[in-house]
Amino acid sequence: MTPAFDSLETPSLLLDAEKLERNCRAMRERLGSHGVALRPHVKTAKNVEVAQRALDAQAGPITVSTLREAEYFFDHGFRDILYAVGIVPGKVARVARLVRRGARIATIVDSVEAARGLARASAAEGVRIPALVEIDSDGHRAGIRPGDARLFEVAAALGDSLEGVMTHAGDSYNCASVEAIAEVAARERSAVVDCAAALRARGLPSPVVSVGSTPTARFGRSFEGVSEVRVGVYVFHDLVMAGLAVCAVEDIALSVLCSVIGHQREKHWLLTDAGWMALSRDRGTARQKVDQGYGVVCDAAGRPLDDLVVADANQEHGIVARRDGGPIDFARFPVGSRLRILPNHACATAAQHAEYQLLREGRPAEVWERFNGW
């Protein structure tokens, strides 16, 4: 057992401060070199200290996925917030309460129905709630396809709430090469830039042209015409990002500390107390060239071990095995010894925990709270 971790219960969520700060600095420098604003997505961290390090400031523009996030970050000094999930009338009163408290919170819509619902509900609340039209730049999820005349119908329905366009290039997570990610990034940029130009040609405002995904932010060649980039998982990175060559495994700042609780010698398994309740069920690397199971197994210092992965996971049990199913030197992993698991998807793994054990120089330094809920 590593003495530095003797005081920690397992499973615990560990966050390496030096890697976090390096990842944040690298993204600020990259986007700064292209002259485009950073609007970090705080859904990954759900923590004020991480958001402040992402911006290198006490507050600034952020993106959220839940109104719980909007409320938490407003309470911690953040005033410029984009709620980047389609708004529905039933949530407008909650947004309006933040607006009346001094927040500038923008919303997104991708249909005439949603735009009209926002207009009616915000009028009933007596507040103006700005909105962006969501553009589908890659067929990944929601939004209006470039060239679709519904763009103008939605813009008209928003009236003076219209502030521009946004997109999320989620298909970048499915790419098999850096070149393919760069091509997705080019389509992402052109989709929103062209839609913004089409709105302006009709005399409609589009000051905000917003894009966002960590892979396209990393490998996009141009951000011309874009006003801001929304990125989130880059603050921690994870095995999916490593599989896309967005980062190296050594850049992953997040891990789960666990204990060895048993041996299944005939099956060549170690059992740990970090099952899917600690790691999540995310299997995002299964579609990549290297399937990392439920996570890469490291020693207590964070160094990957002997090609070990979490091969399977029950609710509170992690099953550790070699990739090839071969034998394990059980003497190296006595019951009670500590291991660390690198996550497939940092957002999903972090969501299983209520706090980060912040590490500095490899040792626990302080505890940072995080939250869940909507």
Distance CA 224, CA 192 (A): 11
Distance CA 238, CA 346 (A): 6
Q: Comparing C-alpha atoms, which of 67, 27, 66, 68 is closest to residue 50? A: 27
What domains appear along the chain, each with residue ranges and CATH number? 3-13+247-369 (2.40.37.20), 17-235 (3.20.20.10)
Distance CA 110, CA 143 (A): 5
For residue 43, give the 3-state DSSP assignment.
Answer: coil
Beta 62-64 vs 37-38: how paired, if at all?
unpaired
Q: What is the pLDDT of residue 5?
A: 87
How many CB atoms within 10 Å of residue 186? 16
Q: What is the pLDDT along the chain (374 residues), one digit of tens a residue?
A: 456 788 899 999 999 999 999 999 999 999 999 999 999 999 999 999 999 999 999 999 999 999 999 999 999 999 999 999 999 999 999 999 999 999 999 999 999 999 999 999 999 999 999 999 999 999 888 999 999 999 999 999 999 999 999 999 999 999 999 999 999 999 999 999 999 999 999 999 999 999 999 999 999 999 999 999 999 999 999 999 999 999 999 999 999 999 999 999 999 999 999 999 999 999 999 999 999 999 999 999 999 998 999 999 999 999 999 999 999 999 999 999 999 999 999 999 999 999 999 999 999 999 999 999 99
Q: What is the pLDDT of residue 120?
A: 97
Beta 304-313 vs 318-322: how paired, if at all?
antiparallel
Helix and strand element counts for the chain (H, E): 11, 17
Q: Are 345 and 242 within 8 A, CB to CB?
A: no
Q: What is the pLDDT of residue 1?
A: 47
Helix ranges restricted to H, 126-237: 150-158, 178-201, 214-219
